[in-house]
Amino acid sequence: MTKGTRLEIHLPHLRHNLMQIRSRLQPDTKVLAVVKSFAYGADAVAISQCLVNEGIDYLGVAYVPEGVALREAGIEIPILVLHPQTHELSRLVAHQLEPSVYGWHVLNALQKVLEKQGVDTYPIHLKFNTGLNRLGFSTNQAQAVREQIESSNMKVQGVLSHLAATEDPAEKNFTQHQLQEFEALLPIFGPDPIYHVLNTSGIFNYPNAQYDMVRSGIGLYGYGNEPEVSAQLKPVAVLKTNISQIHQVLPGNSVGYNRGYVASQTTHSATLPLGHADGIGRQYGKGKGAVWIHGRKAPILGNVCMDMIMVDVTGIDCAEGDEVVVFGHPNQSAESFTEKAGTISYEVLTAISQRVKRVVIDD
């Protein structure tokens, strides 16, 4: 049995989640799997290879180096770079990555790179801002963008936007307004590009806006932004560790730095070999986070240390070396682990540091 702090990556759960997403799509709707940030903290190469074997249409990354790493691992399918930086465009073209072009400076810089490299008809995706106000051309710039591209070395492979609140029923009118803004782009760019706007929550809540392709990130890894969505999915990443040592803490004695926990009664604490350097931040200390040991909940005692946390195992029959589940188990998802700390599953998943061993499980 594998010991030590490790992040198990369950590929059967990934396939299950992809199947759940596909079951909500029209037969000809493409799927772009977002594998940025080490595939949401898992293992980008292992996840991508599994998805390629399942016939995924596109992969999506945030930055050029992430796409280059996948190319160097032998991934050949289209890869969309969602936030390319102008200084990385030469590498992007060299590795046949497709950029999301979100502003004039990117468009002009890419044109210069293509001219310098003697490249013709390079595929790009155009990003339009329909209300998230993060990245994208304004929709009233669409005609001017099209005209510049017509005289360039670029081909509009895709047109996209990003929805801000597809998980929130109270923001349905706002989402519908975003979709109307996006719909207005179709007559400008015609039928040839791949149009894509839906994220995971959009797939479940706005099935009539699938267009040509949908993008799923968090859903593939087993989470949605609504409980009813998460209930249909299975967590791919399971963070586990083992007990290093158990202490008896007498009343009045304390645990950890700054005496973050002072025992009011005899308490048994277990020290675990992971801490904020591994992605379990200090916000989970003082009982806001908990782990599971032999099916029992063990709250974190005191402050999280850089490389260790201490948890309350009073009344739990456990011993040094026993297995501990931090999140990803049926008893505790990443969502429930983060809830009392006032954060979200995305943050803890992507925060798990690269020093934590990844163990790929496929059975």
pLDDT digits over 331-345, tens only? Answer: 899 999 999 999 999
- Annotated active-site residue in 3, 112, 116, 257: 257
- Annotated active-site residue in 30, 36, 234, 288: 36
Task: Please report which confidence band the pLDDT of residue 222 belongs to, taking 50, 70 and 90 as the band edges.
Answer: very high
Q: Give the E-state strand segments of the chain in sequence order.
A: 6-10, 30-34, 58-61, 79-81, 98-101, 122-129, 137-138, 154-160, 194-196, 213-216, 237-242, 245-249, 254-255, 261-262, 267-272, 290-293, 296-301, 309-312, 323-327, 357-361
Does the active-site annotation cover 257?
yes
pLDDT digits over 189-212, tens only? Answer: 999 999 999 999 999 999 999 999
Task: Report yes or no: 73 and 51 within 8 Å, Cβ to Cβ.
Answer: no
Q: So where are the chain's domains?
A: 11-223, 237-361
- Tell me: pLDDT of 231 over 90: no
| Residue the block writes with tokens 């994220």 | 199
Does the active-site annotation cover 221?
no
Q: Which of 126, 119, 134, 125 is nearest to 165 (CA)?
A: 134
pLDDT digits over 252-281, tens only? Answer: 999 999 999 999 999 999 999 999 999 999
Name the burial class of residue 204, with classes exposed (0-12), middle (13-18) and buried (19+) by CB atoms within 10 angstroms of its CB. Answer: buried
CA atoms of 74 and 52, how far apart (whole Å)? 11
Task: Please report which confidence band the pLDDT of residue 1 belongs to, taking 50, 70 and 90 as the band edges.
Answer: low
Task: Report yes or no: 60 and 162 within 8 Å, Cβ to Cβ.
Answer: no
- We find that the CATH architecture of domain 11-223 is Alpha-Beta Barrel (3.20)
Considering the domain 237-361 in this protein, what is its CATH number? Answer: 2.40.37.10
Residue 230: per-residue pLDDT? 83
pLDDT digits over 43-87, tens only? Answer: 999 999 999 999 999 999 999 999 999 999 999 999 999 999 999
Handedness of CA 343, 346, 80, 17 (dihedral sign): negative
Residues paired with residue 261 on neighbouring β-strands, in sequence order: 255
